[in-house]
């Protein structure tokens, strides 16, 4: 009995013989996700993270953990999309603290939120600690929280992205946290506190001396 020849196992290619690996890496550089789609996906992420947690701190920790792997990968992606990028993207990597934080406050924020962060400061009482300000975090929009979670700041997810990017760039941190510091004008204003480890400060001092 004759029949159709069986297809050999393996990858199935589309009719144009191209796969995702053939796409231009900058193809979706300027693509934007609708806010409605983002809100739906992010709410589902929060619901998933909320399973089994007992308090706000544990939930924020889970959101931070969800954002961390994104940050690890975003540095190379953003560097590869830089107008001055070459095959040797390592030459563009920040090697000092301030250029790294400027990269986060400018390029990373524009990539994620289509605008720069609203402020960047160093803690005057702790030279290992820096603060990035966002007056109106997108991740806190469209989020309706029950009373028992009223202290939750969903920007903990963005804090995880920042922490992952810092670690991926070789700037180890003690952690990155998000805190609500709202006022009458910006009730949802959030500060991201970045605290670098001692070895990063020691390296910064050596580079500052030209060593």
DSSP state of 87: S
pLDDT of 54 reads 82
pLDDT of 110 reads 94
pLDDT tops 50 at residue 89: no
- Domain 35-208 class in CATH: alpha beta
pLDDT of 16 reads 64
Please compute the mean of the pLDDT values over residues 111-131 and round it to a whole number: 95
pLDDT digits 0-9 by tens, 149-158: 778 899 999 9
Written as six digits, the tokens of 91 are 């030459």
Count CA within 13 A, CB hemisphere, residue 184: 0
Domains of the chain, by residue range, sit at 35-208
Tell the residue number behind the tokens 């803690």, with chain if given: 123
pLDDT of 72 reads 92
Higher-pLDDT residue of 20, 158: 158
C-alpha 45/C-alpha 27 separation (Å) is: 26
pLDDT of 42 reads 87
DSSP state of 145: -
Which band of pLDDT confidence, cut at 50, 70 and 90, is reported for residue 50? confident
User: In whole angstroms, what separates CA 99 from the centre of its chain?
Assistant: 17
Q: What percent of the chain has pLDDT over 70?
A: 80
Tell the residue number behind the tokens 């805190």, with chain if given: 179
Higher-pLDDT residue of 90, 105: 105
Describe the crossing of helices 156-168 and 56-80 by its angle, rounded to 10 degrees.
Answer: 50
């Amino acid at each position: 009995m004759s029949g159709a020849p069986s297809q050999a196992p393996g990858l199935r290619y589309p009719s144009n013989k191209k796969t995702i690996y053939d796409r231009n890496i900058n193809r979706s550089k300027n693509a934007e996700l609708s806010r409605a789609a983002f809100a739906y996906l992010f709410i589902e992420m929060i619901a998933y993270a909320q399973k089994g947690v007992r308090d706000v701190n544990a939930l924020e920790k889970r959101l931070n953990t969800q954002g961390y792997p994104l940050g690890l990968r975003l540095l190379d992606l953003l560097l590869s999309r830089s107008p001055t990028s070459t095959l040797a993207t390592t030459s563009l990597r920040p090697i000092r603290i301030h250029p790294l934080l400027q990269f986060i406050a400018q390029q990373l924020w524009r990539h994620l939120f289509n605008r720069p962060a609203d402020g960047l400061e160093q803690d005057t009482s702790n030279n290992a600690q820096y603060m990035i300000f966002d007056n109106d975090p997108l991740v806190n929009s469209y989020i309706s929280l029950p009373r028992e979670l009223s202290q939750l700041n969903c920007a903990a997810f963005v804090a995880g992205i920042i922490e992952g990017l810092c670690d991926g760039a070789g700037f180890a941190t003690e952690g990155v946290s998000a805190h609500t510091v709202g006022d009458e004008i910006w009730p949802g204003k959030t500060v991201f506190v970045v605290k670098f480890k001692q070895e990063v400060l020691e390296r910064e001092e050596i580079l500052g001396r030209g060593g």
